[in-house]
Structure 1
């Protein structure tokens, strides 16, 4: 039950969550009508196999499979856009939002670009309104997560608020590929203390689910950060436990007639790289297309430069798997 001390604005946002979600679905339904009346000339839809947060934490890196539909139906396109809930509600807490499926793709309609753009803009506005309503419920992510899922069980917030991309210009080529997230950041002791204190508060918020071993390891890390300063040449690194890539799209779009090049690399096209968790929409002629291939970890492991080979990584708390390391030069 939501506390009685919730502000009026938070209460209204909480109560209105189903309305904001339904606005997204209604506007996607309008897009469905459009696609039914203006059948796509190209409807390439890829489905990327899911990776759970649990697999990331256990470092169970497995190949990521991609299934490709070269002629997806309108129903299949709409299903990809409306896949914002999971049936297994417990998996949201256990596996996090990584249980969602990503749907890269390219949908090209022959005409009525202005109407298509208007429909997609309307959907994105509804998604932004929904995201804003969720943010108003509480500033703390873990509290917000609990409250949102009491009102909308099974909602996958990340996927529900992802905007859909519409490309106005005529496309020349679209190439889908993988991008690995940056896996480490240099941090100060103060930054790590702040991070660990937030982790600890989140871990102890529910007595029934508190893992005392995790709390103990966090306390050990806080103690070491305070009482064991770095030696000469050492630094702290926060390393992500996941090494799973995300799909991206390299977009080459013809530059409109009369528009200056403005230092762009290519003479006739503008080039951009975008995340591709949802299909990309455009109108006009069919461009060249390169789809995603399956991703295998053996193709992405190993240091990217010689400098990494000369660094030694030591866990701040050995065996704790907090993702915090002391980095020092190899002897």
Structure 2
């Protein structure tokens, strides 16, 4: 992959055309103007009626577009979009747009990828999409075996070790190898993408009170603590295993750069409580930068002009900042 040029534009994929992705893309451009260059990949017909757009032939042309117009790299779909009503025949092109953005990133034509929300059900029903979500598909396209999902805002960064699985399956899925890989990828990502030379990690226990000496569960004693001791001996700054219920107040957050949690809700509840509108979903361990707004397609409000673009704007800004850090 070519060396990253942070002054290149960011590629924003269209996501699910029937969701809020098209309208928040336009709203983000109107707010950001030319201060943060990005372009949208999708079918111009799916944008809000009367949207001011300029079609471009290549990513480089996005910088020449007037700040009050959305640069669009066209990708034709089979027919228009109906807000709130995903079409099965759109699924293959939603997937193709993501693959197209990855190809641009791998060729060094964009600084980063920002992905609008997809409907995993719509993609599975319409095109047999075989991946749990964006993250796994991007890793497959990039030829990377293991990546890490991080949620980030100004107040907090969190990483769930296990993600979209039933809570009952977490203990068996939480292996030493999985935890170690997650910690190492997170540590490297904080260095490469956030400019932190010596990242500080805080690791939650699996059980209440981090097991309380084995009285509330044994995973901390048997697996988590010995692994953290070994990584600390190798030079990593890691605190834990810690009781999750005392990790997220202001004084605790000041002591670490990212919190690594054992399961989905343990990580996502605190960040969504602290900054519901400004949270960003990003993927560590890819050869390119990928961010995404931390919300879904919002079919229930799509097309009404009331969707909040704040999380998308935060995702675009974080992608730009990560590109700058990675290029140093």
Classify the TM-score, shorter chain: under 0.3
Question: Which structure is larger by alpha-carbon Rg, 1 or 2?
Answer: 1
TM-score of the superposed pair, with normalisation by structure 1: 0.26
Q: What TM-score does the superposition give when structure 2 sets the normalisation length?
A: 0.26
